[in-house]
Structure 1
Amino acid sequence: MNENFEDIGIEEGVTMENAKELILEGLDCANCASKIEQEVKKIKGVKNASVDFVSSKLNIEAENKDVLADITIAVTKIVKNIEVDIKVVEPENKSDNINVFDELFNKKTLARFGSGIALFVIPLIFELPHWIELLMFVASYLIFGVDVIYKAYKNLLGKHFFDENFLMSIATFGAFAIGEYAEGVAVMLFYQVGEIFQDMAVNHSRNSIKALFDLRPDYANLEVNGEIKKVSPEEVKVGDYIIVKPGEKVPLDGRVVEGRSVIDASALTGESLPVEVEPGDEVLSGVVNKIGLITVEVTKEFQQSTVSRILDLVQNAGSKKAATENFITKFARYYTPIVVLIALLLAFIPPIITRGTGIAQWINRALVFLVVSCPCALVISIPLGFFGGIGGASKKGILVKGGNYLEALNSIDTVVFDKTGTLTKGVFSVNEIIAFDGFSKDEILEIASYAENFSNHPIAATILNEYKGKIDKSSIKDHIEIPGYGIKVIAEGKEILVGNSKLLKRENIKVPEADEIGTIVYVALDGKCVGYIVISDQLKDDSADTIKELKKMGVRRTIMLTGDNSATGSKIARELGLDAVYSELLPDQKVERFEELYENKLTKGNIIYVGDGINDAPVIARADVGIAMGALGSDAAIEAADIVLLTDEPSKLINAIKIARRTRSIVWQNIVFALSVKVLVLALGVFGIANMWEAVFADVGVALLAVLNSTRAMNEGKVAEEQKS
């Protein structure tokens, strides 16, 4: 399918050679992630850059591969200037997952917090000389805040003024300056505790998301000279034989050559129904062998296998950010400086223009502003929400390539379907054979079988299955398959044409009338039509319900584009309740018709196209959201589509829309909740009602609650019915 990429609009110049992926180990600040992304985009030679906070990945697209080494060095410097604790490493050098609880609650940390709390509590309980009290508060403050102060200092050197470390340092310094020692220490303690729980929540979310994609096999049982050797899947080559025991994952794509079993593909497709396999059947990596011992001949190397491609696709989905994520990133860039400016004005202007109020009182109110101003609750929870939605969708066999595509499903004007293999089963049967000019039905079927012998089209397979005779393949010459028309061959010295009415018209052959409902396959011999074959397809069981549900969800139009004849297309459209159908379309005409639909859409909503991902690749690429259905193992589908449905059920589209709406609801809950609390505390702070305790809650407390709310998007169980907007 690669030869079609230019036709379907794949951007030229974006290759693996001029792309680079780096891991930002220790990235726990979403605000820092945004700053790193913005600074990396400014590096000379960088075409585009994206930081995925959830997976801690930095994806860089360079103008050419020669500058990648220099870019990597520049990235390391930028990251160190923004956050000194982050390490920039190559993907192959990344550290294994660390138990977050053990890391945060080790003996050293417990001793630190224990001594800090003791120094803080003693002056509160006992009356001590002022200088001893001050000394103990300062010691406690340094124990809790030395790392925050150090990070703030490093960030100042890098000219990054508005991060949470700087704001928290200034706020607590201010508390000490106005004599509020206990409050200064308590705020730093509360902040550190909140950060610990926030880090735990974020890491728990990350690990939960990663667990959703726990498809990667750990080993393969390679058969070598009659012996079984346990090796890494990366070591296995195409053509090798592997043994898969009951209960093991199939590590690589392949073909069963020995043994029979039942496989569970639910990890890939979300469907729990087991599938029987026997010699000759294809099996995909990531499925689980349930009962029998099978020998599999490997057909794809690990990096090209289904499980590897799916993992790569989903784990990199965070680089394609939703419009809401981009908006919040820009919002945070202006929001924090504005709040800091208001804090400065609040500290010094009111004491000048009012009488009877001391400057200490207004500085304290300004410090509340500083603490509240950090936008972490939004910047952390929103990407987690979208990635959680993507993860939840993947467990139901729906692969979404980015948050932008998930968000686009919330606003749909029109859904356009392909027919064969999408709304119908693609399983054809011969219903009737009509013969002319003294030819028998068997002769018409035989002639058609000679023409279709080398074709892989489903209709060709149907005709060949119906014909029970033998075919002399050596007599078939000059086989030409004409896309959108049919087939032309020379067999036993005679020219045979088999295809639709357009093929006969193209060859200036008179087309007989056909009233039968179904796909009409005309058969011509030496320039004359000698008969036709009527082939019919069956609707999928959930096609009609899918159309009804889409209309309930507010989709304005449901349309079908098909290359089939108008009688068949109209019959199917009536049965399904489609709003319109366009028949007898060649592949290029499908694109033209889709462009017309796009120009005449009823609302500003998106137009979605659902097809099989191979013949429909040009339209899938053109759509606002292109969806390939039943595309498990199809390279063309995974490349061309924005969303891949791993089973043949149209109703998966309904699931995808529900997940998208649920995710949007959670994201907006976080936005409204975080901004409401921050605005409320800011307002209360102006009037001196809210102190720094409430301010810290409005920062780390709200962030923690928003992160926990985001984890709901990962729930792939019952998706709540969405409210209509």
Structure 2
Amino acid sequence: MIINEKVMLKNLFCSSCATKIENNIKKMPELESAEYNFSTQILKISFKNIYKREKILEKIKNIVDTIEDGVDVFYLNEANNNVNTSNKKKLILLILSTTLFISSFFINNNFKIIFIILSYIISGYPIIIKSIKNIQKGDFMDENFLMTIATLGAFSIKEYPEAAGVMLFYQIGEFMQDLAVNSSRKSIQDLLNIKATYANLFKNETIIKVSPEELKISDIIIVKNGETIPADGEIIEGKSYFDTSSLTGEYVKKYLKTGDNVLSGFINTDRTVKIKIKKMFTDSTIAKILELVEDAASKKAKTEKFITKFAKYYTPFIVYSALVIAFIIPLFLGNFSTWFYRALIFLVVSCPCALVVSIPLGFFAGIGRNSKNGVLIKGGNYLELLSELDTIIFDKTGTLTKGEFKVVEITGDILEITAYAENYSNHPIAEAIIKKYNKKIDINKIQKHQEIAGYGISAKIFNKSVLVGNKKLMQKYNVSIPKINKNGTIIYTAINNEFQGYIIIDDIIKTESFNTIKSLKSNNISTIMLTGDSEKVANYVSTKLSIDKYYADLLPHEKAKIFKEIKNKKNKVAFVGDGINDAPVLAMSDVGIAMGGIGSDAAIASADIVLMDDNPYKIIEAIKISKFTKNIILQNIIFALSTKILVLILSLFGVANMWFAIFADVGVALLAILNSTRILKEK
């Protein structure tokens, strides 16, 4: 049996350290898998139940402690009683080091060098200790080791104030960077803070406050005004209005009464209700949403993968360049101390932290912002692809139209026998016909029933052979039908292979569909509609919405075939459907988008992106956030690389000093992280 656990690595701010920790944990023989999310600080692990979870946690702690100090390691579902004071200690030491460093400028005697050295030791001690540990492990490309070499090198050529100042400001920059990362993480978590913190368990005529995880199926809970429903269930007493915005992104009050199902994350805005739990918290809607968003970090965008690969080569290249500058160039040009100093600047600029930290944070912020808007994106790769789409293909029913069918015309005495034929179908059209019939159906009168996908129904009712379906069904059985020139979905009925009449079903185009198609056109994204409905209906909807192209009268396998043909001609293609009947096409698309995911496990499972309600305009909003995210990330890449390259070039010509290098390292990283937080505020 495989056990899945989540381990919190709290106060881990170093991205390169996080990568090393994750790689070492993955090598643990006890683990089946391990995945660390830097943005949430959560390590997801799985292991066989033959291993003790306490022993596994202990091994993880040992790995973390050897790489990074001050990180709290504990299972997410267990309280952590350790109060981390490392930031306070670091702040006190930085203040003391700064005081000594500034004081040294006002002293002209022998104490000046003592103050500088003391300032260096206080601020640089943690860095030096880490670098010694890394040397013992053979890690010479670690930023701590490189910073130690750079500053000690400055001491060796008697650049005392610069050596101490660079170490001090490096530590100040790292401290501020940690605060910025922590603030970004908190902002993202606040966006996803939609889970109830407690549940009012009603037991033995008393109310007990418990955690949502403690609830069991069939437990009874009380939800008062202002409280969040902790797990999916059914109202068994009372009625109230509920705010569903935490799931859908839209603030709309929904009226629910006794017998209605309610989902975790709904907020009660009116009267107290009594609810019977139908799903454990871990299986509830809110838990699945949070799990999906957390897992999204493992599906990295092309840009993230590029930066990860780039970082592997960037640091060694700069370090080897520094060695050439320090020891090879002076052999030809002389002046060793000058070139040695310039090489030290290269070492300070050798860490790509600005990119390694800010880019994953940026993508996760984009995913979190979309989640708050009721759009679940399963990975940074899909978020990035949204900004690159050139074609979006829509299913018609329930996507562009409401999927709320109603009978608008009946020709012939066929309603009863048609309703009987549709009795076993779960299609919305069948529901509309049965609702129109509005009488009890005697199932004993239905001798045979066969649903033919993409055609309709063949049945034996009242001892008569009955065909109910579309034009293709009639043609399949050689039933002659009249030409009907009317809008709406036409359902034909034949008895004993003789045409008896037809029923016209109407479906309403969603108001949001008009703005959706219009906005896509303004973004130079072409639109195509695929439908199994008739040519006339498809033409009507397509014309109304100004869709570029449509394909009608399609069977399920024909949809997949046409989609494949379109995809071969286009660059990046998305498909939008209900996530249930369109699974093959969703799987073939670059980005599969499912509508109406709220309460639908199938929709959440089948698509790359899930719109939690039935509003197609959410696609436009998601594309907007995607493009904004990509622009921010591009800004960070250009700013970080151009600044570093500029400082490196200037240092070669003796224009830039170590202060420039510190800004190009921690200063740029800090600004890039702060820039990434703008994504969270994108409207």
Return the TM-score normalized by structure 2: 0.93
Q: Does 2:368 match 1:394?
A: no
Q: 5 Å matches for 1:20-419?
A: 22-37=7-22, 50-59=35-44, 79=64, 82-83=67-68, 85-86=70-71, 89-93=74-78, 95=80, 104=87, 106=88, 108-129=89-110, 132-355=111-334, 357=335, 359-419=336-396
Percent identity, please: 50
User: Residue 192 of structure 2 aligns to which amino acid in structure 1?
Assistant: F
Offset of 1:463 from its aligned partner?
0.7
Q: State how far apart, in whole Å, the 1-side matches of 2:480 and 2:33 are.
A: 57
3-state SS, counterpart of residue 492 of structure 2: strand
Q: Does 2:592 match 1:626?
A: yes
Q: State how far apart, in whole Å, the 2-side matches of 1:526 and 1:255 are.
A: 46
- C-alpha deviations, 1:534-576, integer Å up to 9, x for none? 1111100021221121111011x31111111122112211111
Offset of 1:246 from its aligned partner?
0.9
Distance 1:75 1:109, change over 3 A: closer
Q: Please provide the CA RMSD for this pair.
A: 2.7
User: Residue 496 of structure 1 aligns to which amino acid in structure 2?
Assistant: V
User: Which of residues 652, 660, 665 in structure 1 aligns to 2:626?
Assistant: 660
Distance 1:506 1:389, change over 3 A: same
Q: State how far apart, in whole Å, the 2-side matches of 1:232 and 1:647 are.
A: 28
Distance 1:48 1:327, change over 3 A: farther
Q: Does the Cα contact within 8 Å between 2:401 and 2:508 map onto a contact in 1?
A: yes
Q: State how far apart, in whole Å, the 1-side matches of 2:458 and 2:213 are.
A: 44
User: Which of residues 526, 529, 535 in structure 1 aligns to 2:499?
Assistant: 529
**Aligned positions, number:** 682
Q: State how far apart, in whole Å, the 1-side matches of 2:29 and 2:144 are.
A: 29
User: Which of residues 620, 645, 666 in structure 1 aligns to 2:611?
Assistant: 645
3-state SS, counterpart of residue 235 of structure 2: strand
User: Residue 343 of structure 2 aligns to which amino acid in structure 1?
Assistant: A
- C-alpha deviations, 1:248-294, integer Å up to 9, x for none? 11112222233221111112211112222222332211011101122
Q: Does the Cα contact within 8 Å between 2:134 and 2:140 map onto a contact in 1?
A: yes
Distance 1:232 1:43, change over 3 A: closer
Distance 1:500 1:237, change over 3 A: farther
Distance 1:90 1:548, change over 3 A: same
Distance 1:517 1:645, change over 3 A: same
1:708 matched residue in structure 2: 674
Offset of 1:474 from its aligned partner?
4.0
User: Which of residues 484, 488, 497 in structure 2 aligns to 1:514?
Assistant: 484
Q: State how far apart, in whole Å, the 2-side matches of 1:52 and 1:301 are.
A: 25
3-state SS, counterpart of residue 263 of structure 1: strand
Q: Does the Cα contact within 8 Å between 1:116 and 1:139 map onto a contact in 2?
A: yes
Q: Does 2:582 match 1:616?
A: yes
Q: Does 2:539 match 1:567?
A: no
User: Residue 499 of structure 1 aligns to which amino acid in structure 2?
Assistant: G
Q: Does 2:518 match 1:548?
A: yes
- C-alpha deviations, 1:27-84, integer Å up to 9, x for none? 211122334455666777989764321122345689x998999998987676555435
**Mean Cα displacement is larger for which, 345-354 or 410-419?**
345-354
Distance 1:123 1:653, change over 3 A: closer
Q: State how far apart, in whole Å, the 2-side matches of 1:638 and 1:145 are.
A: 50
Distance 1:239 1:588, change over 3 A: farther
Distance 1:416 1:160, change over 3 A: same
User: Residue 294 of structure 2 aligns to which amino acid in structure 1?
Assistant: Q
> Which 5+ residue runs of structure 1 have no aligned equivalent?
1-15, 718-725
3-state SS, counterpart of residue 415 of structure 1: strand
Q: State how far apart, in whole Å, the 1-side matches of 2:456 and 2:62 are.
A: 60
Offset of 1:675 from its aligned partner?
0.9
3-state SS, counterpart of residue 487 of structure 1: strand
3-state SS, counterpart of residue 390 of structure 2: strand
Q: State how far apart, in whole Å, the 2-side matches of 1:18 and 1:502 are.
A: 51
Q: Does the Cα contact within 8 Å between 2:392 and 2:575 map onto a contact in 1?
A: yes
**Mean Cα displacement is larger for which, 516-525 or 628-637?**
516-525
Distance 1:631 1:342, change over 3 A: same
**Mean Cα displacement is larger for which, 42-51 or 399-408?**
42-51
Offset of 1:162 from its aligned partner?
1.5
Q: Does the Cα contact within 8 Å between 1:82 and 1:160 map onto a contact in 2?
A: no
Offset of 1:506 from its aligned partner?
4.2
3-state SS, counterpart of residue 246 of structure 1: coil
**Mean Cα displacement is larger for which, 53-62 or 634-643?**
53-62
User: Residue 117 of structure 1 aligns to which amino acid in structure 2?
Assistant: T
Distance 1:709 1:697, change over 3 A: same
Q: State how far apart, in whole Å, the 2-side matches of 1:617 and 1:111 are.
A: 58
> Which 5+ residue runs of structure 2 have no aligned equivalent?
none
User: Residue 418 of structure 2 aligns to which amino acid in structure 1?
Assistant: A
2:410 matched residue in structure 1: 433
1:580 matched residue in structure 2: 549
Q: State how far apart, in whole Å, the 1-side matches of 2:32 and 2:455 are.
A: 43
Q: State how far apart, in whole Å, the 2-side matches of 1:226 and 1:94 are.
A: 30
Distance 1:335 1:111, change over 3 A: closer
Distance 1:255 1:486, change over 3 A: farther
User: Residue 607 of structure 1 aligns to which amino acid in structure 2?
Assistant: V
3-state SS, counterpart of residue 511 of structure 2: coil
User: Residue 173 of structure 2 aligns to which amino acid in structure 1?
Assistant: G
Offset of 1:165 from its aligned partner?
0.8
Q: Does the Cα contact within 8 Å between 1:19 and 1:65 map onto a contact in 2?
A: no
Q: Does the Cα contact within 8 Å between 1:81 and 1:155 map onto a contact in 2?
A: no
Q: State how far apart, in whole Å, the 2-side matches of 1:514 and 1:75 are.
A: 71
2:472 matched residue in structure 1: 502
**Mean Cα displacement is larger for which, 212-221 or 200-209?**
212-221
Q: State how far apart, in whole Å, the 2-side matches of 1:501 and 1:225 are.
A: 61
Distance 1:28 1:111, change over 3 A: closer
